[in-house]
Structure 1
Amino acid sequence: MSENSYLGSFQFGGIASGLDTSSIIDQLMSVERKPLERLQNDFEKLQLQQKAWKEVDSKLSDFWDFLATFKLKSNLIPKSVQVSDENVLSATASTSASNTNFKVKINSLSSSTSFTPTNTLGNIPDLTTQYYQLNGRTTPVAGSFTLKALDSSGNIMESVTINFSGTDTIGDIINQIDANSTYFTASLNNGKLRIEEKAGQEGSVSSILLGDSSDTSNFTEVFNLEGSDFVPGGATAGYIESTVHAGAVNTSKILSDISSDVTSGIIRINGTEITVSSTDTLGDLIARINASNADVIAWYDENEDKLMIRNKEGGPQSITIEDGDSTGANKTNVLDDLSWIDTSGNYMGTIIPGTAANVEIDLDGDGTADLTKTTWGNTVEYNNVTLNLKSISSNWIDVQVTQDADATYDKIKEFVDKYNEVIGYIYEKLNEESVKPEKGETLSEDDKLKGVLKGDDNLQNIFDSLRNMAYGVISWSSNVNAKYSSLYEIGINSGDAGGTYENTMKGILQINEDKLKSAIQNNAEEVWKLFAYEDDNNKGIAIKFKDYIWDTTKFGGTIDQISGTTGTIGLEMRDIAKRMTSLIDQLQRKEAYYWQKFSAMEQSVSQMQAQGSWITSAFMK
């Protein structure tokens, strides 16, 4: 009972009379509260019904979600394509493709127009370049560096440590290696450091170990020797060489650090304007180019130290690169520094036009082409089959298109399993008994829900409708020309035999595997039609299920009209809630009335006791 606003701050609880007033009033109120308790029980039952209907709705909605994609031809009757050499091509087929065999020969692949700069982004160092100037990818740290020669057993034949300062030139460092090592000499070739066996030592070194835990420099990082492998010698000298020249940059390099004349502005690629800031990194510029509508792909080649670009689409379409906006203003000077175009607009590299893919198709298997297809992409469409070209082939590649009967069978089995799950759940809810708690036991939420919908007429109607659709026969219009009108005809039925009807009573479906697979193999299109055909006057079984479940679960649908906020259960709950509120008010008034009466009695008894005490006192005088 909530706090009683009708009670005052003080009640006399049997002080004068000696009665347990509070207990007496509680007993009286216990009787008065019986109607309220009955309403509370009714309200809780309705809450459980509402929750039970929500679970039914969820089960049906999950089935609807499955049916929404199950009905698609691409899911229900997919085609399987086998290719004799998947290194050359892969293939997929739409459901409209015919079951067929043909051969394919790829004479050429499509390529897109590309541009490769002549110059590198970083300055290629020479022998006079000082160590501290090699800051394209990392900050140079001078100090010591160890070079070790290993034999075939991994034993160290020589360990040489060289020391250098930041102002030492590359030539100074090379001279130290030459002077201190018995096995190795060093050279600089187009900015790449090469450490190789000395004359007369060819083949004597099995491997080279660069660096030691005691080293204080970052020599290998600066000269881009990390990731480079030693090439053993023999007739010629073994060597290890920088993966890229020592002045190379990386994508984290700020554009204004690549060249100080870069300014913020606009560049245009294939007519699309792209904003550039002097504080952008090379990676920022690449990302902005690739995200634009220029239909190109730009990337940084780490081993070449060049910013490459190509069209997304195959074919000979040119790539146009311009500095500034359409009026010629807002130039950035960055394109010259990227070695794309010079200040006069001339390309500073090589443009290689894109080419077309050329494919021959042999339809009858005689080894001669029956048709030739040319396309600007590496995807070729033939007779509802998509060929994805991977490499040129001198031989014919076999392509076989068949019905993927196993995939269709698995999908239909999934349909049957999900239907059985739903119909089984509803049957259980219609027939399960409620759970009675033992004395002192508290039921779980699941146990409370058991039996809540037992024998419910609305749920029975849903069950009957689903079962009738599963076991029913479709009356097709004559124009549909359908081979099948029921699941029974393709091997799906209740499975009841010998005069038993248990599965039929429960609405369960079972599959005759051989009969279903035969129908799929021989009449896949007709199987799809039985499930998913739809026009103004005809609906396949899956469509019937889908539409019925939608009408049942949608807002304002069957279940919402029963258990929704404005449904019959919701309205009844609101009515009970109003009656409970009224009863609570009446009970509080009744409780206040009892306290008022008992308090008045206590006051009367107290006065009588006081008068008696006075009379007794008077006689004793």
Structure 2
Amino acid sequence: MRIGGLASGIDTDSIIKQLMQVERQPLDRFFQRKQTVEWQRDAYRDMNLKLRTLEESASNIRLRSSLNTRVAQSSNEQMFTVTANASVQSGTYQFKVDQVATRTKNISTDAISSGSEKFSTSKKFNEQNGAIGDVAGYNGDQFTIKTYNSSGVAKEVTITVDTSKSLNDMMKKINDSDVGVRAYYDAAFDRVVLERKDSGEFNGEEVNGENRQIIFGGDTGFLNNVLKVEQGNEQSGVNAVVQFKNPVFGEETITVDNSRSNRITIGGMTFDVKEPTGGEFQSVTVSSNTDDAFDKIKAFVDSYNEIISEINIAISEPRYRDFPPLTDEQRRELSEREAEMWDEKAKSGLLRRDPILSSVLTQMRNDLYTPVATSGQFNQIAQIGITTTSNFRDGGLLEIDETKLRAALQDDPDSVHQLLNSVASTELTTVPKNSRTAEQRREIESQTGLVGRLRSTINDSINQIIGRAGNENRTNQQFTLGRELISVDSQIDNFQRRLAQIEQRYWQQFTRMEQAVNQANAQGNALMSQLMGGM
């Protein structure tokens, strides 16, 4: 604690505070610069969040299914259900299920439990004599299970009977193998089931004059006598057999009899068959419902307009240089409302004429208005009813002609999808970016749909902004404004040390003054004493 002015009567503390206020002015400017950089960093990050929202909105119309306006309805959904893609024309089609694909399976011929107790899959075999009898004689026996995969390649697993293990242990080895067979136990029927994981007919082998798809080999005594699973009890899987008629081709019928799956695609329609239709054709009605696709495109346009407005405001806001950020002392002298109004002026124009934002604004407009090379009937966004507003002051906002857009979605949703989401040829995109010629880059741009272009532009801009303003995952050393903050903090620390030295010097100077005044007072008192003594 320092107390000045005892000898001189001067308010030393007040004088030094006033002197230090003058000395602190450069430090206040450092703090104001730091606040401005932090505000600018936050403004960039807010803009990045808005750009990310637009990118997500664009991705919502990226998938072909997102713009599919076709609705397919089965006349008998207990027998089959159906969906149609965007290429299917509206109309009534005919579909018949002659045979449903089934899995090959082999089930115990009888209940496993043959004694007074009920068999348990979790107990050891040699602890269940009361259920399955003495199985010690089978210990060490090996049997094999062989199948053929969809490529006709044989797969085989060898199972060693270990009577000190449980049925669960044995079934796990089967299920974990690559033979494509699932083994399980049905407690209600007390039987084991071995079935192929995939439905349909696969290559097999002839066993006792019959073609079998799950083939047993080796020592099958345990399999036959204990688990009651026998080769001759196999129920072989079959392929689905269906027929399809398109009214455009009259009574001409397409027959599909090679599908192992009960999900079958014909002519742009995907059928999930459940049971035979009893020899009769059932109808499939395909119609258009543009609501969902229209709403997704409208949501994208709304999001685009919002970010366009935000960017236009940000790069054109006026900059009020006479309103720097308030210092703590200045803020205490203002009312809350006055401080808010000051801050509003101080934060204005932080991104004025920003080159990154100006560039993304220009590039997004170019992305939308450059024609797309597609095989469909649409190659420009205006052809589907999306154009810029007539008022140039809007800064490139989009507006939708609902009638025109709905008509495009209803008549040719596939062409709409191509316009928005076409991708460039792999012959071009597989060329490394740094090795592409100017012609290749132009061709990639031409073949890429509007959404793909926008997403690429947005992501590039987001990365540029992250390089300048960082994000929550980056330290200050990893982005431009962060490094500027580090520099300002260093200048603040250095200047604060300098201020401490200046304040110390002032106190030393005033202390010497006080000492001189005190010495002068002492001399004066001594002289006065001598004069008074001589009288």
Fold match (TM-score > 0.5):
yes
Q: Is the 8 A contact 1:429 1:450 kept in 2?
A: no
Summarize the alignment of residues 331-410 of structure 1 with structure 2, pairs less than 5 Å apart. Answer: 339=227, 347=230, 350-364=233-247, 369-394=253-278, 395-402=280-287, 405-410=290-295
Which of 505, 513, 525 aligns to 1:593? It is: 505
Aligned to 1:25: 16
The alignment partner of 2:175 has SS state of helix
Q: What is the rounded CA distance, in whole Å, between the counterparts of 1:254 and 1:607 in structure 2?
A: 108
Q: Is the 8 A contact 1:423 1:466 kept in 2?
A: no
Q: What is the rounded CA distance, in whole Å, between the counterparts of 2:20 and 2:419 in structure 1?
A: 67
> What is the CA distance between 1:608 and its match in structure 2?
5.4
Change (3 A) 1:620 1:117: farther
Q: Is the 8 A contact 1:12 1:602 kept in 2?
A: no
Aligned to 1:516: 405
1:22-78 CA-partner distances (Å, limit 9, x unpaired)? 443222212111111111111111111111101111211232233345233333346
Aligned to 1:48: 39
Bigger Cα displacement from structure 2, 47-56 vs 269-278: 269-278
Change (3 A) 1:71 1:279: same
The alignment partner of 2:198 has SS state of coil
Which of 297, 300, 319 aligns to 2:214? It is: 319
Which of 343, 365, 369 aligns to 1:468? It is: 365
Q: Is the 8 A contact 2:316 2:353 kept in 1?
A: no
1:475-509 CA-partner distances (Å, limit 9, x unpaired)? 456xx56644543332223454xxxx27x514332
Change (3 A) 1:550 1:467: closer
Note the aligned Cα RMSD (angstroms). Answer: 4.3
> What is the CA distance between 1:546 and its match in structure 2?
1.8
Q: What is the rounded CA distance, in whole Å, between the counterparts of 1:256 and 1:11 in structure 2?
A: 94
> What is the CA distance between 1:310 and its match in structure 2?
0.5
Q: What is the rounded CA distance, in whole Å, between the counterparts of 1:275 and 1:592 in structure 2?
A: 91
Aligned to 2:350: 453
Which of 96, 100, 107 aligns to 1:105? It is: 96
Aligned to 2:382: 488
Q: Is the 8 A contact 2:100 2:275 kept in 1?
A: yes
**Matched letter for residue 491 of structure 1:** G
Change (3 A) 1:264 1:605: farther
The alignment partner of 1:107 has SS state of strand
Q: Is the 8 A contact 2:308 2:361 kept in 1?
A: no
1:441-492 CA-partner distances (Å, limit 9, x unpaired)? 6769x9799635363333661464266348x642456xx5664454333222
Aligned to 1:576: 488
Q: Is the 8 A contact 2:81 2:273 kept in 1?
A: yes
Change (3 A) 1:21 1:90: same
Change (3 A) 1:615 1:338: farther
Q: Is the 8 A contact 1:49 1:452 kept in 2?
A: no
1:97-156 CA-partner distances (Å, limit 9, x unpaired)? 56564322212212111121234344553xxxxxxxx6xxxxxxxxxxxxxxxxxxxxxx
> What is the CA distance between 1:510 and its match in structure 2?
2.4
Q: What is the rounded CA distance, in whole Å, between the counterparts of 1:416 and 1:51 in structure 2?
A: 26
Change (3 A) 1:571 1:109: same
1:378-400 CA-partner distances (Å, limit 9, x unpaired)? 23232333322101111212224
Q: What is the rounded CA distance, in whole Å, between the counterparts of 1:18 and 1:272 in structure 2?
A: 105
The alignment partner of 1:80 has SS state of strand
Q: What is the rounded CA distance, in whole Å, between the counterparts of 2:4 and 2:451 in structure 1?
A: 72
> What is the CA distance between 1:321 and its match in structure 2?
5.1
Q: Is the 8 A contact 2:372 2:419 kept in 1?
A: no
> What is the CA distance between 1:403 and its match in structure 2?
5.3
Instruction: Give 1 or 2: higher helix fraction.
Output: 2
The alignment status of 1:420 with 2:305, answered yes or no, reads yes
Q: Is the 8 A contact 2:174 2:183 kept in 1?
A: yes
Change (3 A) 1:71 1:30: same
Q: Is the 8 A contact 2:27 2:492 kept in 1?
A: yes
> What is the CA distance between 1:82 and its match in structure 2?
2.1
Q: Is the 8 A contact 2:104 2:237 kept in 1?
A: yes
Aligned to 1:541: 450
The alignment partner of 2:98 has SS state of strand
The alignment status of 1:92 with 2:68, answered yes or no, reads no
Q: Is the 8 A contact 1:98 1:401 kept in 2?
A: yes
**Matched letter for residue 370 of structure 2:** I
Q: What is the rounded CA distance, in whole Å, between the counterparts of 1:18 and 1:266 in structure 2?
A: 111
Q: What is the rounded CA distance, in whole Å, between the counterparts of 2:189 and 2:303 in structure 1?
A: 58
The alignment status of 1:563 with 2:469, answered yes or no, reads yes
Q: What is the rounded CA distance, in whole Å, between the counterparts of 1:572 and 1:11 in structure 2?
A: 38
Q: Is the 8 A contact 1:115 1:351 kept in 2?
A: yes
Aligned to 2:63: 72
Q: What is the rounded CA distance, in whole Å, between the counterparts of 1:265 and 1:59 in structure 2?
A: 68
Q: What is the rounded CA distance, in whole Å, between the counterparts of 1:481 and 1:350 in structure 2?
A: 55
Q: What is the rounded CA distance, in whole Å, between the counterparts of 1:507 and 1:90 in structure 2?
A: 45
**Matched letter for residue 548 of structure 1:** T
Q: What is the rounded CA distance, in whole Å, between the counterparts of 1:54 and 1:398 in structure 2?
A: 55
Q: Is the 8 A contact 1:299 1:309 kept in 2?
A: yes
Summarize the alignment of residues 25-174 of structure 1 with structure 2, pairs less than 5 Å apart. Answer: 25-68=16-59, 70-77=61-68, 79-97=70-88, 101-125=92-116
> What is the CA distance between 1:88 and its match in structure 2?
0.7
**Matched letter for residue 355 of structure 1:** V
Q: What is the rounded CA distance, in whole Å, between the counterparts of 1:103 and 1:449 in structure 2?
A: 70
Change (3 A) 1:17 1:350: farther
The alignment status of 1:309 with 2:191, answered yes or no, reads no
Bigger Cα displacement from structure 2, 357-366 vs 37-46: 357-366
Q: Is the 8 A contact 2:112 2:226 kept in 1?
A: yes
Q: What is the rounded CA distance, in whole Å, between the counterparts of 1:422 and 1:527 in structure 2?
A: 23
The alignment partner of 1:70 has SS state of coil
The alignment partner of 1:293 has SS state of coil
**Matched letter for residue 387 of structure 1:** F
Change (3 A) 1:381 1:294: same
Q: Is the 8 A contact 1:64 1:549 kept in 2?
A: yes
Change (3 A) 1:458 1:369: closer
Aligned to 2:435: none
1:401-438 CA-partner distances (Å, limit 9, x unpaired)? 45553343233222212212322332344466899986
